[in-house]
Amino acid sequence: MSTLPDGWEMVIGLEVHCELRTETKLFCSCRNAFGDEPNTNVCPVCLGLPGSLPVLNRQAVEYAMRIGEALHCEIRPSIFHRKNYFYPDMPKDYQTSQYDEPINVEGWLELPDGARIGIERAHMEEDTGKTTHIGGGGGRIHGADHSLVDYNRAGVPLVEIVSKPDMRSSDDAKAYVNELRAILVATGASDGKMEEGSLRVDANVSVRKTGDPFGTRCEIKNLNSVRSLGRAIEYEASRQIALLEDGESVVQETRHWNENDGRTHAMRSKEEAFDYRYFPEPDLVPVAPSDDWIKAVGESLPPMPADRRAKLAEAAGVAPSDVALLVEQDLDQLVADAIAAGADPKKAINRAANEIAADIANVHRITPESFAALVNMEADGKLTATQTKQVLAAMLAGEGEDPAEIAKAKGFEAMDASALEAVVDEVIAANPEAWEKYVGGDQKVTGMFVGQVMKKTGGKADGKLVNQILTSRRSGA
């Protein structure tokens, strides 16, 4: 949660670079693969050799369109520009990227809590190579003894998704990245692996007094996990507030997150920013997907996480945020089918989100029907919570499909209510002093009564039901 002083608010916008899972690179037929021997997936085009020319990868365009559709964007005719700057990881010393006419504009993404975050654009561009700086100071090119460049990544297709500055806390930002990652994976466009750099996040952070116009923002780079993102935003917002409260001002600049010291450090200010001299890429023609193609892409998309949450929430009669975990774990269909098969919705959600999620590898052993039967045994008081968990564990372990049979084999014959009442009455009769206290309102003895009943029933009694019987006996006393 946010730890800002009263009256302050943070404003966050995120830029997420997503590597597309195409077979080949954006402008050539080199393999798009992570972790291969350096400089083996290269050719004249992705090495930017003199005379080579780019040819756009149709699959990359289709993935970009899938992302656009999933983010409710308008998909438009678009063009590529050249972004010019010198750096050794860019073979041409310009990056081919979409600039003021991107393929996807004006969309939105819905967080599990229902909040909508605006998407400004989601455009295509090529990735750069990867540099490793050896010796010298701090892994930066300046001061290094020498640098190694791997161009396997050069020309890998990216979609950069730029949010609107709609987030107000680090939790929002983390939820946004998690949700976006789930959407990207659902579209098939990305493997969502932040640890392999498939997903890279830059954060634009500013602070303001609630109600004031936006403050000056800083862009934070080098955020390699959702956790770093949260920490970096918290640190950066505090840094900016401290400056402003001291009467200083925030300088617009790019800052580098250092995981080790937990701080952001200035990289370059606005004055030092590159002039990228964008101009339309003359070696490529405009990308203008036909209406039919756009329609086909839209129709081929599977349901997105927000749709799945809404659907299950409606079937279960709960809030969408209550089923977020199930959707994340891909358990929503099982639960929905179980509910359709007559399962108690809340029990089904709880058991799936806890027990099944904890043993997700074995979920294939659970059918909607067997799961429905199990949760209903719990709902009907035929099994206690503890027993239900044990039966479910046995089902996941492959010991059987029929929860009733497993329960029987384990001796979990549920006590019927009248038998349990008899045991409760026995325990009351055996403890008259304690019963006096209980009737007089002393809650401390409740545990003793429940414990005694459990002992007499060998743990088969449902604690909740015992409490109900005790309460009814007291009101009758």
Q: What CA–CA distance (Å, rounded) separates 240 from 47?
A: 41
- Which listed range, 142-150, 325-333, 362-370, 405-413, lies at the site for another protein (CB under 8 A)? 142-150
Is residue 242 within the footprint of another protein (CB under 8 A)?
Answer: no
Residues in a beta bridge with 148: 132
Radius of gyration of the chain (CA): 30
Q: What CA–CA distance (Å, rounded) separates 92 from 49?
A: 8
In 10 A of CB 4, how many CB atoms?
Answer: 17
Is residue 99 within the footprint of another protein (CB under 8 A)?
Answer: no
Applying CB under 8 A, among 50, 247, 432, 458 the residue interacting with another protein is 50
Applying CB under 8 A, among 49, 242, 358, 360 the residue interacting with another protein is 49
**What is the token pair recorded at 356?**
């099944």
**What is the token pair recorded at 284?**
């490529």
Cβ closest to another protein, residue 253 vs residue 355: 253
Query: Smallest distance from the beta carbon of 278 to another protein, in angstroms?
Result: 8
Is residue 48 within the footprint of another protein (CB under 8 A)?
Answer: yes
Query: Smallest distance from the beta carbon of 99 to another protein, in angstroms?
Result: 12
Residues 280-299 that bind another protein (CB under 8 A): 282-285
Is residue 243 within the footprint of another protein (CB under 8 A)?
Answer: no
Cβ closest to another protein, residue 95 vs residue 228: 95
Pairing of strands 253-258, 218-223: parallel
Q: Is the distance from CB of 154 to CB of 163 less than 8 angstroms?
A: no
Nearest CA among 337, 395, 394 for reference residue 366: 395
Applying CB under 8 A, among 23, 36, 74, 93 the residue interacting with another protein is 93
Nearest CA among 111, 26, 117, 125 for reference residue 83: 125
Cβ neighbours of residue 6 closer than 8 Å, sequence gap 6 or more:
none
366-369: long-range contacts at Cβ-Cβ below 8 A with a sequence spacing of 24 or more? 366/334, 366/395, 366/396, 367/401, 368/334, 368/337, 368/338, 368/340, 368/341, 368/343, 369/338, 369/341
User: Binding string, 296-335, against another protein, x = CB under 8 A?
Assistant: ----------------------------------------
Cβ neighbours of residue 112 closer than 8 Å, sequence gap 6 or more:
175, 179, 306, 309, 320, 321, 324
Q: Tokens 């040819």 — which residue?
A: 55
Cβ closest to another protein, residue 22 vs residue 387: 22
Residues 59-88 that bind another protein (CB under 8 A): 82, 84, 86, 88
Q: Is the distance from CB of 244 to CB of 218 less than 8 angstroms?
A: no
Is residue 5 within the footprint of another protein (CB under 8 A)?
Answer: no
Is residue 137 within the footprint of another protein (CB under 8 A)?
Answer: no
User: Binding string, 147-176, against another protein, x = CB under 8 A?
Assistant: x-x---------------------------
Q: Tokens 């580098």 — which residue?
A: 256
Query: Smallest distance from the beta carbon of 128 to another protein, in angstroms?
Result: 13
Q: Is the distance from CB of 152 to CB of 38 less than 8 angstroms?
A: yes
Is residue 268 within the footprint of another protein (CB under 8 A)?
Answer: no
Applying CB under 8 A, among 2, 52, 222, 467 the residue interacting with another protein is 52
Is residue 145 within the footprint of another protein (CB under 8 A)?
Answer: no
Q: Is the distance from CB of 442 to CB of 396 less than 8 angstroms?
A: no
Q: Tokens 């393999």 — which residue?
A: 31
Is residue 38 within the footprint of another protein (CB under 8 A)?
Answer: no
Terminal-to-terminal C-alpha distance of the chain: 49
Cβ closest to another protein, residue 47 vs residue 394: 47
Is residue 142 within the footprint of another protein (CB under 8 A)?
Answer: yes
Is residue 275 within the footprint of another protein (CB under 8 A)?
Answer: yes
- Which listed range, 51-59, 104-112, 190-198, 384-392, lies at the site for another protein (CB under 8 A)? 51-59
- Which listed range, 168-176, 278-286, 342-350, 444-452, lies at the site for another protein (CB under 8 A)? 278-286
Residues 185-214 that bind another protein (CB under 8 A): none
Query: Smallest distance from the beta carbon of 20 to another protein, in angstroms?
Result: 19
Query: Smallest distance from the beta carbon of 273 to another protein, in angstroms?
Result: 10
| Ramachandran category for residue 474: left, alpha or beta (phi over 0 → left; psi -120 to 50 → alpha) | alpha
**What is the token pair recorded at 204?**
């634009």
Q: Helix/strand/coil (H, E, C) string of 371-395? A: HHHHHHHHHCCCCCHHHHHHHHHHH
Query: Smallest distance from the beta carbon of 49 to another protein, in angstroms?
Result: 7
Query: Smallest distance from the beta carbon of 270 to another protein, in angstroms?
Result: 12
* Total chain residues near another protein (CB under 8 A): 32
Residue type, 431: N
Is residue 91 within the footprint of another protein (CB under 8 A)?
Answer: yes
Residues that bind another protein (CB under 8 A): 44, 47-56, 82, 84, 86, 88, 91-94, 141-143, 147, 149, 275, 277-279, 282-285
